[in-house]
Amino acid sequence: MKSIVILISGRGSNMEAIVNAGIPGARIAAVISNRPDAKGLAFAAARGIPTAVVDHKAFPSREAFDAALAETIDTHGAELVVLAGFMRVLTDAFVRRYEGRLMNIHPSLLPSFPGLHTHQRAIEAGVRAHGATVHFVTPALDCGPVVIQAVVPVLPGDDEDSLSARVLRQEHRIYPQAVRWFVEDRLTVTAQGQVRVRDEAVDEAGWTIPSLDRVPGAGACDSRPS
Ligand code: GAR
């Protein structure tokens, strides 16, 4: 069994999708929130999953918060740490501590639209395709080796709500898939930062393919917003 700790900040629908997937070989060891009022905590508790709150407002610095968060995570012996709508920028020290076993989901086709308000920005940019990305976390914000992406169309008349709902449905599909691959020991990251998925056929006809390459020179990874 691999122990998984899921970090949330709010609704927790991605966490729910991962829990509901019932991934063989995975044990959800804890759900931790940085906000005491995170709605997802109730779902986890109702499922008998240990929950904890590490309230970022109680700490004088990012470093102090991250240290307390890591301590709480480590009490559950996490082999994989899953960021599921966890809306805090993490320090480099925290990211390095969990390197290779820290995953995030971001609501855009990275490296497009890192940061916030991704759906509105996609509409304003006039892109025809949008989506979501699961990636391993590296110190640069919303960057790091791409594990899986899902693509959705941007339709005429879409607003932020309709587009985010379309993307969220795909998030709930790809995040459990990425976690499943990790639990099955099928993911490796090449020296160039590309994820390989062992024994996974690439489906050219579908919207979702395991990512085999990255966009060279795309600037999203160059800097970290302050
Ligand atoms: C999801 O759409 C997730 O991709 C996004 O927050 C939402 C959380 O929803 N994450 C980020 O924007 C991270 N930068 P959820 O709490 O229902 O899973």
Same domain for 46 and 85, yes or no, is yes
20 is in an annotated binding site: no
Same domain for 10 and 88, yes or no, is yes
3 is in an annotated binding site: no
Sign of CA dihedral 111, 116, 120, 125: negative
Q: What is the mean pLDDT of each run of 10 residues along the chain (226 residues)?
A: 98 98 98 98 98 98 98 97 97 97 98 97 98 96 93 96 97 96 96 88 52 41 46
Same domain for 89 and 114, yes or no, is no
Q: Is 106 a catalytic residue?
A: yes
pLDDT the model gives residue 181:
96
Q: Whose CA is nearest to atom 12 of ligand 1?
A: 106
d(CA 87, CA 11): 11
Q: How many CA atoms lie within 13 A of 36 on its CB side?
A: 3
Establish whether residue 12 lines the binding site of ligand 1, counting it when its CB lies within 6 angstroms of any ligand atom: yes
pLDDT the model gives residue 216:
40
Same domain for 91 and 132, yes or no, is no
pLDDT the model gives residue 218:
39
pLDDT the model gives residue 52:
98
Same domain for 63 and 134, yes or no, is no
Task: Ligand 1 pocket test: pick from 20, 35, 134, 168 the residue with the most ligand atoms within 8 Å of its Cβ.
Answer: 168
pLDDT the model gives residue 9:
98
In a domain, 221, yes or no: no
Establish whether residue 107 lines the binding site of ligand 1, counting it when its CB lies within 6 angstroms of any ligand atom: yes
Q: Identify the domain boundary among 70, 98, 126.
A: 98
Residue 136, CA distances (Å) to 36, 90, 152, 153, 175 in order: 26, 13, 22, 25, 12
Assess contact for 74 and 182: CB atoms under 8 A: no
Same domain for 73 and 149, yes or no, is no
Same domain for 133 and 62, yes or no, is no
Domain region containing 15: 1-98
pTM of this structure: 0.91
Same domain for 87 and 117, yes or no, is no
Same domain for 112 and 166, yes or no, is yes
Establish whether residue 114 lines the binding site of ligand 1, counting it when its CB lies within 6 angstroms of any ligand atom: no
Count how many residues are written for the chain.
226
d(CA 68, CA 74): 10
The DSSP code for 142 is T
Same domain for 209 and 132, yes or no, is yes
pLDDT the model gives residue 198:
86
Assess contact for 112 and 220: CB atoms under 8 A: yes
Report the CATH number that the domain containing residue 166 is assigned in CATH: 3.40.50.170
d(CA 169, CA 115): 20
Total domains present in the chain: 2
14 is in an annotated binding site: yes
pLDDT the model gives residue 204:
56
Same domain for 135 and 63, yes or no, is no
Assess contact for 166 and 122: CB atoms under 8 A: no
- Annotated catalytic residue, options 76, 106, 130, 172: 106
Establish whether residue 11 lines the binding site of ligand 1, counting it when its CB lies within 6 angstroms of any ligand atom: yes
